[in-house]
Amino acid sequence: MKLVYLSLLAMLVFGCGESESRAKPVDVAINGDFIQSETSQPVSIIPLPASVKKLEGEFFVNAQTVIVAEEGALSVAEYIQSQFGPATGYRFPIVSSNNVDNAITLLLDDAFSEEAYRLIVTANGVQISASTRAGLFWGVQSLRQLFSQDIELNAPVNKRVWPIAAVDIEDQPAFSYRGMHLDVSRTFFPVDFIKQYIDLLAMHKLNYFHWHLTDDQGWRIEIKKYPRLTEIGAWRDETVVGHTYDRDGLYDGQKLGGFYTQAEIRGIVAYAQQRQVTIIPEVDVPGHASAILKAYPEYGCVSKEFSVQANFGVFPEVLCPTEKTFAFLEDVFSEVIALFPSPYIHVGGDEVKTVQWQNCASCNAIMAEKGLKDYLALQGYFISRVEAAINKMGRKIIGWDEILEGNVAPSATITSWRGIEGAIHAAKAGHDAIMAPGSHLYFDHYQSRSVEEPLAIHGLTPIRETYSFEVIPEVLQNTDAAKRILGAQGHLWTEYVRSQAKAEYMILPRMSALAEVVWTDTSKRSWEDFSKRLPYLMERFSAKGLNVAKSAYVVNAQISYTAKGFKVDLSSDMPEVNIFYTLDGSLPNAQSQQYLEPLLLPKGGTLRARAQSKLTGEMFLERRLTLQSHKGIGAKITLNAEVDRAWNTDPEVSLVDGILARDQIFQLDDWATFPGEAVEAILEFPEMTEISLFNLGFNAGRFRHFYAPTAIELWSSNDGQNWKALASARAADINMESVSATLHVKPTSMRYLKVKVENHAKRFSTEDSKMIPVTLYIDEMIVQ
């Protein structure tokens, strides 16, 4: 029945998320009775629809609201009941007549493209039109965000009516492939969490779930013909504590594992299908095979005792390219395909070490027989055999971009993770490709430089970095090859994600940024607009009880060094915040000094800063800077050393910039990285300079424990040719538990300072099963 809207509407926000005060209650007439209701939420939808138009009035969902749906839309109608029923307490009966007021009407209309929809809300009701169930379902997700955040609660809320703003939304996705990945090999997650993960994909209009089911640390899918895969391969005896490559090799001593039964997988697949999500299972071959070989060592190339790995990394364990291995894999994939209706099966193909193939007589015989020129070609042969078997079963393969190094068929789709180059190459060669570069779409990275961020793998990917990603690279713009880029995918690898709460923290809200990247046309996207809508969605996550990260609010800092000292510019990527800071070591609060203009710190010091919401008063995560003025800042450095420039592109600057990284690490290029046994650096001062102290940083604080140098030597010179020894420290003099080492010298004037740092330490490599040299990470060279 018709509802009468009797009050002025609070200002709506269409795609801009402007801040506003909380709306005042209004009176609503229902069946002749007046009741008080809140006004509707601002229109703040993520991902941003293609078109949003404001209409007059509101629609008030109440106990008499029904769902109108024809037979082809019944599954979507049932989803509405399950999604909106718990919080409202309403039944939402499903009826077939479409001539009904006070209804949510689902209308199938062939005029729309496959995933497009139109959502119209008036004072009389809601109508969602689309040509497919997928389109209707995405329309429901937009409708969901028109409700207040309370709709996400799983218990009745004391409201008689639920207002939603009157709008006309026309929408369709920019890309057909919109994906999220989850690694359950490193950390096994229960069925309920997998369903929750799928719910989050659906909420964001993401339609592919890449389920990484096997790896060195555990096999997670029941294969009835090979029960040892889960009886043995699904369990590891312990797990490394901290980072695999840290100085101290610590383990938790706890057996860890688990797997999904085929019955559980069928249930998860059905659950995903109702939510328009296609699950792509990954069985990673031929590398990352430790768990397989622990269960069935006969499919390896070497005779040894295999282990389900307790460490993380890239291991030499690889499947042998023999006929019995291919028969085994055909059996495995036949059971996998029977469980997953996806048109794609992901076969991995990444990070394959070939050392075991090189020492395998049968492998070399196969290479000679097939005319394979090298071991990359042998990897290509392996993948092509697997691909042929999967194609014979009516499916296509997806593989990581390494499979391009072999001779894979054009029907193979490429997941480009080592940057965007793999996708570019694939598209030009006639392959479909999915963008998945670690730089923007790996959500196991740190998401801010706050000292409060939990442990993560190396790498820094803030949400704004994710939002900036362009799926179609410039080099492919306006070319036929651009059509081969199907979309993009975010990833959550779980080496350092050991709980469901941590998983939620790592993906939310970066998943939201990804969703807009792949759904919304690039011409309509802007960070300024997205950042205004994001807080409303984050409130929705909180209402659902999810552990959403507030890292987007962390204070940014731009630092420059001048003759007067350090100039520090602070800012936030988020709107409607104030920034407070301290210089005395205390934690900032609302009574601390407010940041209003750039700071000048003549000698440096410790700067602590936090942003505070102007709307709620919430204080967000702390950003901390440790700055040290010293005589070496700006000195010209000449390095005579092997430098790992894959991690540190400009060590000549970072070693003497006055910005200390030794108490924290977010990405490895904060540090100068040296894989060799010795580092020699010559600092050239602009004039004769007297020094009495040298300090070298080498430890990254609470989450990372790097190796200390085995020796440090200092030499002085006035001409850069003749050198005089100043001081030295040997391993026994260097405190491994400290973050740095200090050498005191008799005050000496010089133009040149030579620093020799030795690195003769070795560690046992679980990947190579032998002792190898350690990598030396160096922070600031402080000269006083």
122 pLDDT exceeds 60?
Answer: yes
Identify the band that residue 16 occupies on the pLDDT scale cut at 50, 70 and 90. Answer: very low
User: Is residue 2 scored above 60 in pLDDT?
Assistant: no
Read off the DSSP letter of residue 634.
Answer: T
> Do residues 220 and 184 lie in contact, with contact meaning Cβ atoms separated by under 8 Å?
yes
At 329 the pLDDT is: 98
- What average pLDDT does the chain have? 93
Q: How far is CA 129 from CA 1, 110, 276, in A?
A: 21, 9, 16
In this prediction, residue 642 carries a pLDDT of 84
Angle at 569 between CA 567 and CA 572, to 5 degrees: 165
Please give the distance of CA 642 from its chain centroid, rounded to a whole number: 31
Give mean pLDDT, residues 126-137: 98
Using an 8 Å Cβ cutoff, are 380 and 371 in contact? no
Q: Are 554 and 623 in contact (CB under 8 A)?
A: yes
Sign of the CA dihedral 698, 700, 310, 322? negative
Q: How many CB atoms lie within 10 A of CB 310?
A: 19
Smallest CA-to-CA distance from 312 within 175, 217, 453 is with 217
pLDDT tens-place string over residues 229-271: 999 999 999 999 988 888 877 899 999 999 999 999 999 999 9
Q: Under a CB-based contact definition with an 8 Å cutoff, are residues 61 and 162 in contact?
A: yes
Tell me the per-residue pLDDT of 560-594, one tens digit each, with 9 for 90 and over: 999 999 999 999 999 999 999 999 999 999 999 99
Question: Measured between alpha carbons, how far is 573 from 579 in angstroms, rounded to an integer?
Answer: 12
Q: Which of 244-248, 419-423, 623-627, 769-773 has the lowest mean pLDDT?
A: 244-248
Domains detected in the chain: 4-171 (3.30.379.10), 177-350+393-525 (3.20.20.80), 554-628 (2.60.40.10), 636-783 (2.60.120.260)
Residue 28: what pLDDT? 61
| Type of residue found at 599 | L
Distance, CA of 101 to CA of 766 (rounded, Å): 67
pLDDT, position 25: 63
List the structure tokens of 682: 């010559």
User: How far, in Å, CA of 624 to CA of 643, rounded?
Assistant: 28
Residues assigned a catalytic role: 215, 288, 351
Q: Residue 161: which residues within 8 A CB-CB, separation 6 or more?
A: 28, 30, 35, 37, 60, 61, 62
Strands 103-108 and 66-69: parallel
pLDDT of residue 538: 97
CB contact at 8 A, 736 and 747:
no
User: How far, in whole angstroms, is CA 268 from its chain's centroid?
Assistant: 23
Task: Give the CA distances from residue 419 to residues 423, 435, 566, in Å, rounded to whole numbers and listed in that order.
Answer: 8, 8, 35
Tens of pLDDT, residue by residue over 40-50, are 889 999 999 99
- Give the helix ranges, DSSP H, for 544-676: 651-654
Mean pLDDT across 498-513: 98
pLDDT at 8 over 60: no
Q: Note the pLDDT of residue 412.
A: 96
The burial of 410, by beta-carbon neighbours within 10 Å (0-12 exposed, 13-18 middle, 19 or more buried), is given as exposed
pTM of the model: 0.94
Q: Which two tokens stand for residue 572?
A: 């936030």
Which residues partner with 442 through β-bridges?
491
Residue 98 has pLDDT above 80, yes or no: no
Q: Is the pLDDT of residue 141 over 70?
A: yes
Model pLDDT, residue 31: 55
Pairing of strands 344-348, 396-400: parallel
pLDDT over 90, % of the chain: 85
DSSP letter string over 251-262? E----EE--B-H
Express each pLDDT in 644-697 by its tens digit: 877 777 888 889 999 999 888 888 878 999 988 999 999 999 999 999 999 999
Could you give phi then psi for residue 656, rounded to 5 degrees? -140, 50
Residue 206 has pLDDT above 80, yes or no: yes
User: Pairing relation of β-strands 218-219 and 214-215?
Assistant: antiparallel
Residue 17: predicted pLDDT? 39
Contacts (Cβ under 8 Å, ≥6 apart) of 732? none
- pLDDT of res. 280: 98
pLDDT tens figures, 584-631: 999 999 999 999 999 999 999 999 999 999 999 999 999 999 999 999
Is the bond preceding 47 in cis, omega lying within 30 degrees of 0? yes
Token couple for 564: 């007067």
